[in-house]
Each structure stands twice: as structure tokens, then as C-alpha cells.
Structure 1
């Protein structure tokens, strides 16, 4: 959407900064964090149409633009806003890179930061997103399945991509390998009824088999008994996560992608296919308006 000479200043600003691929926007609740959006033109030209939201969470390298850009075409053709958050390394001055993956870092609750971003994005485009779709790969896959445990009532669907470590629904281990003390850590339990209502997808490359980066030695700050219990590599650990969810009555669609290593774009066609299926029932027939 291009601004026109006759547009008001508000309309020109909207066309430049809140349509298509936006600039980076500070999170109002905590400006240490930020997000960028893809907003389809139809959000403004057809305000009566249903508008969905998909949140795409980066991995450890923080390639925020890649995670937004991968879904821009999907957003355009499915009338869907895309929100890509940025959780920088070292927000507490310590160069810690993994805090967001485990939901809590000092006084930061990353799930609450994301919910604040979702609310703020809705206000910017005059919508409310009571439920949304969530994707994350690698470090974002950590975030995605743990956010699912905390807020299943806010999620329509999730796609969990190749996390390096997983939290199993295992009440014999403490957080983070298990959930025995989940209520003490987060001040709330897991709503297993709501969890079963979320459509869940998992993806991993068949060649995603390296172990060195995801094995926790006993002197690691993140080590806790059970840290390595879900398997040696990302394929093993995602398989264990799927079995853990299925044991609780959650249906899981699991794609192991042949010929792909630890590569978000390698699994992306399967992710996009999943989310397209999620939205298919509410989309008009091809060519319909």
C-alpha cells in the first residue's frame, strides 16, 4: 500500500509503517524487547474480514527478519498478520543467550513479554487477537513448546521446530526437563484440557543429528538432573516430546524432513503446509471475495 498525496497524515503513516513488512517496534511493556510485523493490505482495505495472527520466534542467532520474511507471503495470501519478536542476547548485561528458551530469566517472564507484544500489535491495527498461531525453530522451538504449556488457551496452533532441549510432561523431574514443580515456578498449573484443543505440529531435519551443542555437561549452568534424558540429538528429543504429549491425549502431526540438517528454511515448507491447513476452513473458495 503506497501513500497518496490526498491521504491524511495518519493514513500516510499507516501506509508507510504499518502495512507490509514494518520497521522494528519497541515493546511498550519492556523496551529491552522489540518486534516487527507483516501486515497484509487487506487489514486496512477489508476491515470486516477475519484477520489471524502468526507469531514466528527466532533461534539463538536472532535472525528476526528471516523469521518474519519467511511468512510474509503466507500472511498476504491467508489474511494473516505475522509478528516476529526479538529477544536479544544479554538483556541483563551478562551475554546470556538462552534465557528466553526457558521462559524465566531473573525477573523476566518471556511468555508475558510476548503476550504484551501481541496486545500491542492488535492495538496498532485495531484488532484483538484472543488466539493466535505460534512457530519457533531451534531456540524458538524451545520457547514454543514451553509457551504451549503455559498458555494453551491463547493458542490456535503451534509448530515446534527442532528444539535442542525439551520439557517433557513428566512429573518425576523438576522444571525444566520435567513439570513436577511447574506450579511453584510459574504460579499456575497446566490446563491439560485446553492443551488438547491446540493443533500441534513438529518438524526436524532427518540429518539433524549433531550432539555437541545440545548435550549438557554437569558443570553447565543449565544442567539439572534429567537434562539429557530425552535423547542424544534433536530427532530423539523431538520424538520423546511427541510421545509425552500424545500420552496426555494431544494429537501431534510430526514431520521428519529427508535430506535436511538443522535448517529452518529446510523444514519451512512443511510448517507452511501445516498452518495453511489450520486456516483452510475459514478461507473463502479460490477467487471468492
Structure 2
């Protein structure tokens, strides 16, 4: 017997609720199927209430994307947010490289475009609109987060940058990626300082995050550039240099140095959650005032 269309529809609904709401399954990106994403979507996201917001949570070198989704699942449930956790595999170009996404551009791959393609897919799939979103990343994700911020501040209402191993300073006298000289040639845009000032920016690192073996750049290695180590020896030193670079350009930064904490995302993310809670409340208050005006 052929199942009825009614039965098909009910099965489709069950499938959507199982795989597309709550903690979702992993989907290949239509923009580029070498990359994939998973979500947390509150089951009541289409009910009446404030406009849903998007939080993008970017993994580190260990690529535990589901953990990065789960960091914000409870936050999203109670604050009407969707969480998007992209998965950027190592060795996408067949070379075994673990670091490509951290620097945004890798050969012919533009990881900023990949992420924006994922955001567009999520908007289409759920009938939502995210002209601006919040971005969090830790370690390798912190690399990506602050460089995406430099390239696309107009797409963000908040950025929380966690313990990147290396930083891109707002320094037009140093070549990309140590500074911003050459950004226009590589990406077709320079830093937009007024737009950067409009983003709520947070930087966080553990006070005991002091290992340097992985983050010291050596001449002759693939991503070595002049000034690669100039921001400092340790992650706290480098992130503080990034903070000072931003503040010198008039960009306000909330900075957390977490005492006694090493390179541990599950601890540091609590500061990011607190920051994004405040930034979200401020955004919604501003949006409501704009609507009233």
C-alpha cells in the first residue's frame, strides 16, 4: 500500500523536529560541500517574541564543532538565538594543513565567504534574517574571529575573541597578516574603523595560557611574515597587543584575563557568554528604541 500524503507530511514534520531543531545533525554546506555546519535551534524559535539573533561559534584546531555549538545551546534556548557552528576540516586542499581557516584566505579558499554562505543557508532554511550576527571563536577560532571582524564589521553586532595564537594588529605599516598592509590587494577592502567602532568587541584569555611552542613563528615556515612574533611571546601578551591596537583606533574593547586558567575553551567561554548576554540586551534595547522612533 502506498502511504498517504498526510502520512508523508507527518513523517517529514517528525524528521524536521528531530534533525533540524534543538541540536541538529551535521549538514554539508551548499556553498562549498567541503565544509559543513551544525546548529542549535530552539524549537519555539518561530513563536511570538523578540526577533531571533544568530551566534556563530568557531572551533579551534581540534575541530570539535559540536562542543562549540553546545557552549551556547542553553544561552540560545533562553535568549531566542540560533547557534551556528561551522566545521572547517584540516587539509582541505590535500596538503594536511591545519591552519588555513585561521588566516581567512588559503589558496583559492576564502573562509569569510564560506561562513557568509552558511549564514545565508540557515536564513533560507528557517525563514529568518540575520543581517548582523555575533561571532565567538577560541584559539584557532579566535584567529578567525578577529580577522573576520576586520574584514566584515558591518555584518557583526558583537565579536568575542578568545585566546588566538597570533593576531593581526591594526597596523598599516606591517604586511598582512601581522598587520593590515595589503588587505585591499588580498581582500578588496581596508579596515573600516567607523564600522569597527559600532561592534561590541570582547577579548578573553586565560592568565596561565603561557605555552609558546605552538604559536612561535619561525622563518621559512609557510605563514611566516615579518613581525609575526612582534605582538608578544604568549597568548595573553599578543591579545593585549591586539586590544591596545584597537583602542588606539578608538574601538572600545572589553578585556578579560582569567586568573589561573590555561588554554581551556570550556572555562574561558563563560566570560564570552556573559559578554554576549550584555551585548544582546543592549542590541535589543537599541532595536526597540529605533522601532519606536
Runs (4+) of structure 1 exceeding 4 A deviation are none
Are positions 1:261 and 2:262 aligned together?
Answer: yes
**Distance (whole Å) between structure 2 residues aligned to residue 6 and residue 123 of structure 1:** 23
The equivalent residue for 1:232 is: 233
SS in 1 for 2:84: strand
The equivalent residue for 2:75 is: 74
| RMSD over equivalenced CA pairs, Å | 1.4
Residue 180 of structure 1: CA displacement?
1.2
With the length of structure 1 as denominator, give the TM-score of the two structures. Answer: 0.93
The equivalent residue for 2:22 is: 20
Residue 13 of structure 1: CA displacement?
2.6
**Are 1:43 and 1:125, in contact at CA under 8 Å, matched by a contact in 2?**
no
Quick check: which one's helix share is greater? 2
**Distance (whole Å) between structure 2 residues aligned to residue 143 and residue 156 of structure 1:** 16
SS in 2 for 1:43: coil
**Distance (whole Å) between structure 2 residues aligned to residue 185 and residue 246 of structure 1:** 25
With the length of structure 2 as denominator, give the TM-score of the two structures. Answer: 0.92
Residue 47 of structure 1: CA displacement?
5.2
SS in 1 for 2:45: helix
Any gaps of 5 or more consecutive residues in structure 1?
A: 284-289
Residue 214 of structure 1: CA displacement?
0.4
Deviations 1:241-270 (A, max 9, x none): 000001111000000001100111121211
**Distance (whole Å) between structure 2 residues aligned to residue 258 and residue 190 of structure 1:** 32
**Distance (whole Å) between structure 2 residues aligned to residue 43 and residue 258 of structure 1:** 37
Any gaps of 5 or more consecutive residues in structure 2?
A: 1-6, 286-293
**Distance (whole Å) between structure 2 residues aligned to residue 213 and residue 253 of structure 1:** 26
Are positions 1:32 and 2:31 aligned together?
Answer: no
Residue 8 of structure 1: CA displacement?
3.0
**Distance (whole Å) between structure 2 residues aligned to residue 250 and residue 162 of structure 1:** 19
The equivalent residue for 2:290 is: none
**Distance (whole Å) between structure 2 residues aligned to residue 218 and residue 73 of structure 1:** 44
The equivalent residue for 2:272 is: 271
**Distance (whole Å) between structure 2 residues aligned to residue 55 and residue 98 of structure 1:** 19
